[in-house]
Structure 1
Amino acid sequence: MKTTTLPVALIQERAVIDQGARNAEANLAIIEARVGEAARLGAKLVLLQELHNGPYFCQHEHVCEFELAEPIPGPSTERLAAIARANRVVLVSSLFEKRATGLYHNTAVVFDADGSVAGKYRKMHIPDDPGFYEKFYFTPGDTGFTPIDTSVGRLGVMVCWDQWYPEGARLMALAGAELLLYPTAIGWDPTDEQAEKDRQREAWILSHRGHAVANGLPVLSCNRVGHEPSPLGAAGIRFWGSSHVLGPQGEFLALAGTDAPEIVVAEVDMRRSEHVRRIWPFLRDRRIDAYGDLLKRYRD
């Protein structure tokens, strides 16, 4: 079998959080430099972390944060399109979208290697947990679990909290996605005991490995890194990095550390899913006649 490899890169970064209104400009400048470096390393597909233009503002609820949102297309998409075009890479970004007055989304925008917008995905599952008050800011997405066609393949792009739901990954696979990609922003409460921190990080990685195995697909997950204090005066979040690339049997192709910015590079064998799905034909053996109750909230 002829092997077709796709060089990929994840830009795990510590966000610039202290330049106020200039945060987006400062972070996009870093992204431009990192994507250029990734391209020089041979990457053809580059994944950025969730809400990469600034700090993770969802640690509190305040109307001032809506000033960070922008339309799509808008200034950031213009800048990111130019970065993709200059480096001839497919670029997966993550933006705070202002769709209309009072209507906002957490949106991944995919740029093809010529700088054109290949498509976008609006985050479907929205959390509301201590330190992650996203329901205050984001309306659940309405784009569905629809892969985005690009020059390097059909991408099943989802965002962070979506990573805990096997239904989303499965629907992307059933629609022909060739890779699953997750921009993320997840980390520890610094006051938690180390054992709890370890359990949370390992569960997060395990969920991605499960998506890879269950669907016979490579998985790319790019997380931010570093401590971001809470505007509420709490301990804040220490983002645990650990960005990774998995093969279609859940095997690690690359894994970043937990403490520092890093460009994670790997080569993905785009033909391997065909082989894996022949020996593990999970899609063939699905009992679609017996899954109707999945549409219920709970089986009482």
Structure 2
Amino acid sequence: MDKISVGLLQLSAGDSPEENFEKTISFIREAADLGAQIICTQELFKTKYFCQVESWDYFKFAEPVNENSPTIRELSKTAKDKNVVIIASLFEKRAEGIYHNTVAVIDADGKYLGKYRKMHIPDDPQFYEKFYFTPGDLGYKTFRTKYAKIGTLICWDQWFPEAARLTAMKGADIIFYPTAIGWLPEEKETEGEIQYSAWETVQRGHAVANGCYVASVNRVGFEESPDRKTGIQFWGQSFICDPMGKITKKASPDKEEILIDEVDLSKIDKTRTVWPFFRDRRIETYTDLTKRWLED
């Protein structure tokens, strides 16, 4: 199957995880009815982006992520009913005191294929994720689904070329990035345009460097910080780009929507034949990449 349809769910989030989950299930079903075959949620879709503050209260939102957990069972039922692959971003409780920012992948027959745990964890103003999430320890993952072999990375991972490279090297036709990123009110006027441009550009670069598709799905709406001191204006603009880095479909900056686009997997082989970056990699010269920094 060369041509498949990818759906990205760009949504806002309310205060109730249960309502957010029901809403997302509804959008998954709608996306499937519109022809989407692989459907991806935004990062941590069941809640508002609680990482704006450090609070023990929000650990209550975490849940087990396995084939027997209630959320996975409901997603599996939906996937099977609609014959779609679902990529779902969840707050995982692994054990008492160990939590992860995790993506679960469910195949079109409802089978739970596994999970990826976010490897790169940010700690910036309004993005205090190190308080909540243990860095991933499952390595970079790909999943062979009914429609394509997909890779899953998460938000902050999207800034690191090593993560995209290793995921592509495991055979990913499409790298999905569930995301929660936006502007801080005090920065938007002066830094907003360059911040967004950098975010889009680096991901398009991953598509070019690895000759694969990239699909990034963001949330929308303003979410006030729980301490009411500030907030984040999520910039939406979810997009899909092809192996040459061309954006083939982009969502709006401020509206909930289902972005659906057809991707042609045969372009991967054609692009890598013309631009044979994998052939020409000088892997014997890259050993220093395992070091933190190189001194003069």
Q: TM-score, normalised by structure 1?
A: 0.96
Could you tell me how far 1:24 is from its partner in structure 2? 1.7
The structure 1 segments of at least 4 consecutive aligned residues displaced by more than 4 Å after TM superposition are none
What amino acid maps onto 2:13 in structure 1?
A: A
User: SS in structure 2 opposite 1:283?
Assistant: helix
Match of residue 30 from structure 2: 37
Which whole-Å CA distance do the structure 2 matches of 1:227 and 1:76 have between them? Answer: 26
How far, CA to CA, are the matches of 2:159 and 2:113 in structure 1? 25
1:89-144 deviations in whole A, cap 9, x for unaligned? 00000000000000000000001011111121000000000000000000000110
Q: Which amino acid aligns with 1:70?
A: E
Query: In structure 2, what residue type is equivalent to 1:58?
Result: C
Higher mean Cα deviation, 29-38 or 160-169? Answer: 29-38
Which residues of 2 match residues 38-187 of structure 1 at below 5 A? 38-73=31-66, 74-187=69-182
1:10 and 2:5 equivalent?
A: no
| Offset from partner CA, 1:195-224 (integer Å, 9 cap, x none) | 411111111011110000000000011000
Letter in 2 for 1:15: A
Distance of 1:257 and 1:31 partners within structure 2: 18
Q: 1:193, CA displacement in angstroms?
A: 4.1
SS at match of 1:227: strand
Mapping for residues 205-224 of structure 1, pairs under 5 Å? 205-224=200-219
Q: CA deviation at 1:234?
A: 2.0
Shift of 1:68: 0.5
Q: CA RMSD in A?
A: 1.0
Q: Is the 8 A contact 1:120 1:148 kept in 2?
A: no
Gaps of at least 5 residues in structure 2 are none
Q: Deviations over 1:219-276 (max 9, x none)?
A: 0110000000001222200100010011000111100011010100100001101000
Structure 1 unaligned segments of length 5 or more: list them.
18-22
The answer (yes or no) to whether the contact 1:6–1:267 under 8 Å persists in 2 is yes
Quick check: 1:262 aligned with 2:260?
Answer: no
Residues 120-129 or 186-195, more deviating: 186-195
User: How many aligned positions are there?
Assistant: 293
CA distance in 1, matches of 2:46, 2:228: 22
Q: Distance in 2 between matches of 1:213 and 1:131?
A: 31
Query: Which whole-Å CA distance do the structure 2 matches of 1:102 and 1:292 have between them?
Result: 35
Aligned to 2:18: 25
Q: Equivalent pairs: percent with the same residue?
A: 49
Give 3-state SS (helix, strand or coil) of 1:228's partner: strand
Q: Select the residue among 266, 273, 276 that pairs with 2:271.
A: 276
SS of the residue corresponding to residue 187 of structure 2 reads coil
Between the aligned partners of 1:228 and 1:60, the Cα distance in structure 2 is: 12
- Give the whole-Å Cα distance in 1 for the aligned partners of 2:187 and 2:122: 20
Name the SS of the counterpart of 2:9 in structure 1: strand
Aligned residue in 2 for 1:20: none
- In 2, Cα distance between the equivalents of 1:151 and 1:193? 41
Q: Assess if the C-alpha contact under 8 Å between 1:90 and 1:110 holds in 2.
A: yes
Shift of the alpha carbon at 1:277? 0.4
The structure 1 residue matched to 2:235, chosen from 230, 237, 240, is 240
TM-score (norm 2): 0.97
| Aligned AA (2:133) | F
Partner SS for 2:237: coil
- Structure 2 SS opposite 1:138: coil
2:283 is aligned with 1:288: yes
